[in-house]
Structure 1
């Protein structure tokens, strides 16, 4: 697919914040001087063609009142990684769940980010995760402050226009 200038501007807009409007594509359409339906049609087309792989929201959890988060590192035997990873990822408080090569002296292999409104809530969720998986060898690394949280920028206006 050959991208025209409107497609390129849509891609640039999708890399940044869409704002808190209940109709973000309508706002984008007004800026591009096209209809909201046209913006949505073009996004769907770029998704179908693999130009855009996925769209996802990045929640600013601290601003939303979810002020505590912890990276939990789990030691999981290789034959259970898939099973345990799927179970950990199913918790609504978990936003990220990754398998990584064994890390540290204990050989932690699964990493999860757990979010809650309080430290106690975070600890309760982690305890429940441990109980449901039977994994008791884990460590929690609580965040102290957020230094950077931005969407990825794959190209800028000069690259696309």
Structure 2
């Protein structure tokens, strides 16, 4: 199913935008448009609105990171990509036909089957404090460039830390 994504020059380089019925997102990386499902591999949360810094897509919910343009997570898992077609400056994404609706039981079983086939992800547990501070700070700076009001309302220090009030 061919879905229009817009004009090439209108597709953003710094964040993912949903296309069509919201099943997919597109972003421009190094002059190339890439398209992925609008679902993070972590907890199936939407990738729409995800920020791109240094060719790394950061999921807006739990900050999972994917190298672009491949869509590869640091664990080796990879986002499925969709074919992108260019025609006279217009960009289209070739999406698979929508799957028929499943019952909750069928969805849970399919999800369990899929994840039971994946290799165990090593090194998933790391120093979340350091990772969170570093990437959250970068994300907030990028968002702040576009929406200054957000940084004005969040009490974040330059490293992304939330200052703890001291008592005297």
> So what's the TM-score if we normalise by structure 1?
0.24
> So what's the TM-score if we normalise by structure 2?
0.23
Of structures 1 and 2, the one scoring higher in RCO (CA 8 A, sep 6+) is 1
Answer 1 or 2: which has greater helix percent: 1
Answer 1 or 2: which has greater strand percent: 2
